[in-house]
Amino acid sequence: MARDEVGPGLLAAIGAGGVLGSLGRWAVGLALPHTPSQVPWGTFLVNVTGSAAMGVLVVWVLSMDRPHPWLRPFLGVGVLGGWTTFSSYAVEGRDLFASSSPWLGLGYVLGSLVVGLFAVGVGVTAGERLFGRRR
């Protein structure tokens, strides 16, 4: 997207998507609370599902002849950007390292990374089955 195509409408679309994704992540955090010494399953869940959804989204958008120019920014940057969270992942990983379970912290940090990368691959594969091979 060219710099001159960025305007208030696009920024509003990204912001609206971010609100939706962030509210969803907040709800998951309420449903799956944790203490600093426990695995933050809510953050793990949103990051892994967000990774899978990003894989599907990329294939879906690339399968379209002329996707709306705001579709990927709204869903990818806004909704999935608000849904997933690197900052919480980093802080919660640090909390686990600092607690009495540094091995649990290491498992969480590495496990989230590996499972997230795997989830992107699963999402791309699912997207290709649904929408055809990427161009």
20 touches 94 (CB < 8 A): no
Q: Is 24 annotated as a binding residue?
A: no
Q: Is 84 annotated as a binding residue?
A: yes
Cα-based distances in Å from 135 to 58, 59, 77, 119: 11, 9, 21, 21
Binding residues, by number, are 81, 84
Binding residues for Na(+), by number, are 81, 84
